Amino acid sequence: MTGKVDVEELIDHLKRNDLVIVPRTLTEGLNERYDQKAYENELRKKSALTFAEISNAKLWGDISARACKSYAKKYVPEELMLVNKGDVKLYKVPMSTVKKVQNIKNI
């Protein structure tokens, strides 16, 4: 694509549309952080979460699902829910307990 652009026209266009030119390094990772926040917000609408969901959303830090299970069994074993999902039994953690562990771990 070749052509000429009038710099003043470009600047006016940027101003009219409230746009700015910034280095790429400033914007890298923004979509990833936005997607992470959107995922966390979707999970917060649920009444209980699996260890994988807690791990993926990094609600208890950047830890694995197995580490989430260890934390839950260490800090709040009596609050875990055992749910039948077809032939599989899995633990779920109520949202109130997720928040309680966040407070315990100062997250």
pLDDT tens across 42-99, in order?
Answer: 888 999 999 999 999 889 999 999 999 999 999 999 999 999 888 888 899 999 999 9
Instruction: Tell me the residue range of the domain where 15 lies.
Output: 7-104
Confirm whether 12 is domain-assigned.
Answer: yes
Are residues 64 and 25 in contact, defined by beta-carbon separation less than 8 angstroms? no
Domain count, the chain: 1
Confirm whether 1 is domain-assigned.
Answer: no
Confirm whether 2 is domain-assigned.
Answer: no
Angular region, 46: left φ>0, alpha ψ -120 to 50, beta rest:
beta
pTM above 0.85, yes or no: no
Instruction: Name the E strands within the chain.
Output: 48-49, 81-85, 88-94
